[in-house]
Chains A and B, each alone.
Chain A
Amino acid sequence: MIYADNAATTKMSELAFAKMLPFFQEQYGNASSQYSLGVKAKRAVEHSRRQVAEAIGAQLSEITFTSGGSEANSWVLRGVTDSFKGESIHIITTQIEHHSVLNACHTIESMGVEVTYLPVGNDGVIDIKKLIAAIKSNTKLVSVMLANNEIGTIQPVAEIGAFLHERGIWLHTDAVQAVGHIPVNVADLCVDLLSASAHKFNGAKGTGFLYMRSGISLPNLVFGGEQEHGYRAGTENVAGIVGAGFALEESVKDMPETADRLQTMIRETVTNVQERIPTARVNGNSELRLPGTVNLGFDGVSGEALMNLLDLKGICVSTSSACNSGKSEPSHVLLALGLNEEQAQSAIRISYGRFNTANEAKAVATAICEAYDKIKGSQAEHTSSNLCYHT
Chain B
Amino acid sequence: MNRAALLCLMFLVALAGRAVAAEVTASVDKNRVQTGGQIVLTLRVEGGGGDYPNADFTSLQKDFEVMSAGTTQRTSIVNGRMTSSRERRYILVPKTAGQFTLGPLDIRVGGETHTTNPITITVTSAPPPPAPPPLTEGEAGNTTGSDALFVQATVDNPHPYQYEQVTLRIRLYTRYQLLDNPGYTEPTTQGFWKENLPAPDLRVETVDGVRYNVLETMLALFPTKPGELTIGEAVLDCSVNDGSQSRDAFSFFQRPSGHRVVLRTKPVTINVQPLPPPPAGFQGAVGEYRLQVRADTHEVVQGEPVTVDVSLSGTGHLRTVGEIELPPLPDFRSYPSEENQEITRNRGLIGGEITKQFVLVPLKAGKLTVPPLRVVTFSPSQKEYRVLEGPPIELEVTPGSGMEARGSRGDIELLGRDIRFIELGDPSFRPLGDRWSRALRWLALLPLPTLALGGAWFWNRRMEAQGANAVWIRRRNAGKTARSILRAAQGKDKAESAAEAARALRTFVADRYDLPAAGLTPDVIAGHLTADGKDAQPVLAFLDRCDAVRFAPQETATGGDFLKEAENHLALLEEK
Q: Is chain B a partner of chain A in the same complex?
A: no
